[in-house]
Amino acid sequence: MSNSREIWQQAFEASATREADYSTMSGVPLEPVYGQADGAGEYPGQFPFTRGPYASMYRSKLWTMRMFAGFGTADDTNWRFKEIIKSGGDGLSTAFDMPTLLGLDSDDPMSLGEVGRCGVAIDTLADMEDLYAGIDLGATTTSMTINSPAAPIFAMFIAQAEKAGTTRARLGGTLQNDILKEYQAQKEFVFPPRQSMRLVRDTISFTAAEMPRWHSVSISGYHIREAGSTAAEELAFTLANGFAYVELAMKAGLPIDSFAPRLSFFFNAHIDFFEEIAKYRAARRIWARWLRERYGAQLERSLQLRFHTQTAGVSLTAQQPEVNIVRTAIEALAGVLGGTQSLHTNSMDEAMALPTEKSARIALRTQQVIAYETNVAHVADPLGGSYFVEALTDEMERQAEELFAHLDALGGGSLLEGCIRGIEENWFQGRIADSAFDLERKINRGDRVVVGVNRFTEGNDDSSMELLEITNEDEARQLKRLDVVRHDRNQAAIDEVLARLAAEAADPEVNLMPCLIEAAGAYASLGEIMGAMGSVFGRHVEVPVI
């Protein structure tokens, strides 16, 4: 009978590894992982994956340096994407502007002043074509941060790629498509929760059948944390949402192992270094146990939680913004020591504006320093076995289980129902706001130090940093583009496909993805598509509570 170390060794030897000098700077050779002297205990790539999803971790492949970008028109962002690829970034991540996030066209009256401001404006397939022009979508992976209109934007993406000659089966990437956290935290919702979940179900079913390289949902704690939750709440709410999507797809008749491997996660990397690392380790362990024990998953890929990390935007200060480079580096390091599969590092100027090209480059360079200078990626789960980190990992898991128990009871034995009820009853929203206010009071009392904000404020007067300015010209250009598309397309075809979309939306048994792809291909606008579905689904209105 082999011990865990020997089992790990076999798995490691079966993995491809990167060429690198795996020793310290002074020449001490480094093992790919360290463990107990007797070879027992958990190793990376072994259930419940506390120590990492894979045996070889970064020795096979460094994390993907996936920098989030988007501003102005599709042309502007296409240019920034090409800069990122040139600078050594290896995955694209698309930020959409507010109107797009809410499924509105740029010429909607509510879009005034918001077009292209904090992301790229996408109205029709024509914009999507410009956005990825000249980029080989079969060779790079693309992530799209879109939720309420995730299905129609995804449809535009597929229509665009296929028009450019890449079949949908070859497309690799991630759709955020995590609607539950929108109601809980990010608040970019359109349709009511239950109707929105139907669209999530349709995308999960569609990708499970037709797009083997695509991650259908990126279950996101990032926004929950940014909205003010604690680390344990981020962990618990995110995984609970993950269980809800699992139950949703299983209810639709999909076998768990047909879709669970394509669910991925997205966590925050905040400034409390060890707590963050413990959070990632606990997340992997909880997911593996719940998927196997509660949902009956058997495939290893279904049990292995894989995640993207972004450093904490909310930890950035407008005061002495250069210090944000240091915060981001520490947070990014936590993500790497926690075993992240991809990473976005924020830029120092993001407490004031979207990043300039220079500040975005420094943020990418920060990852490259960690990857190539520090040697921290040589050894998997380097903090595993630390009394402190193991105890903190257990504590994160314990706190999360308490929150799952509450949601399970709320949903009468269903996490899907528990999460939706928790939203409808404002339970998540209230907890997050309470935690945000607690932290604010600690900062105000000086119990929690924020350099440049409540301590060490000398130098705060220097506001010489150059910031990216988005002009109203982008909005004007986008409106003109949209006008041209509306003029050039076949209106009868649009009317026909939109009527069919509304009819299909009214039948909950139909998968809307094929009709959405058709509508996108006819150059129906996002606002028109959302309007057709909205005529059936209605709108979500949040009861405002302080």
Partner 1 sequence: MSASSASRVLIGKVGLDGHDRGVKVVARILRDAGFEVIYTGLFQTPATIAAAAVDEDVDLVGLSMLSGAHMTLAPAVVAELRARGCNAPVVVGGIIPAQHIQRLKDAGVAAVLTPGAPADQVVAVVRQVLDDAAALH
Binding residues for partner 1 (CB under 8 A): 98-99, 101-102, 104, 109-114, 117-118, 182, 186-189, 226-228, 314, 316-319, 351-354, 432-433, 436-437, 440-441, 443-444, 450, 452-454, 463, 467, 470, 472, 542-546
Q: How far is the CB of 316 from partner 1 (least distance, A)?
A: 8
Distance CA 293, CA 34 (A): 28
When the beta carbons of 113 and 412 are compared against partner 1, the nearer one is 113
Q: How far is the CB of 436 from partner 1 (least distance, A)?
A: 5
Tell the residue number behind the tokens 């290896």, with chain if given: 90
Note the maximum CA span of the chain: 73
Q: Which two tokens stand for residue 308?
A: 């993207």
User: In whole angstroms, how close is the CB of 29 to partner 1 at the nearest point?
Assistant: 46
Contacts of 516 (CB under 8 A, 6+ apart): 151, 152, 154, 155, 501, 529
Q: Rounded to whole angstroms, how far apart are CA atoms 360 and 348?
A: 8
Q: Given strand 64-69, what is the order of strands in its sheet? A: 214-215, 173-175, 141-145, 91-95, 64-69, 342-344, 307-311, 263-269, 217-220
- Check residue 253 and give left, alpha or beta (phi > 0: left; psi -120 to 50: alpha): left
Rounded least distance, CB 445 to partner 1, Å = 9
Q: Which residue lies nearer to partner 1 by CB, 228 or 384?
A: 228
DSSP assigned state of 9: H
What is the C-alpha separation between 13 and 175, in angstroms, rounded? 33
Cβ proximity to partner 1, 102 vs 380, nearer residue? 102
Of residues 98 and 334, the one with the C-beta less far from partner 1: 98
Q: How far is CA 124 from the centre of its chain?
A: 23
d(CA 451, CA 437): 19
457 versus 535: smaller Cβ distance to partner 1: 457
Handedness of CA 238, 243, 249, 252 (dihedral sign): negative
Of 133 and 318, the one with the shorter C-beta distance to partner 1 is 318
Residue whose CB is less far from partner 1, 18 or 539: 539
Task: Give least dist CB 204 to partner 1, A.
Answer: 24
- Shortest distance in whole angstroms from residue 469 CB to partner 1: 8
Q: How far is the CB of 100 from partner 1 (least distance, A)?
A: 10
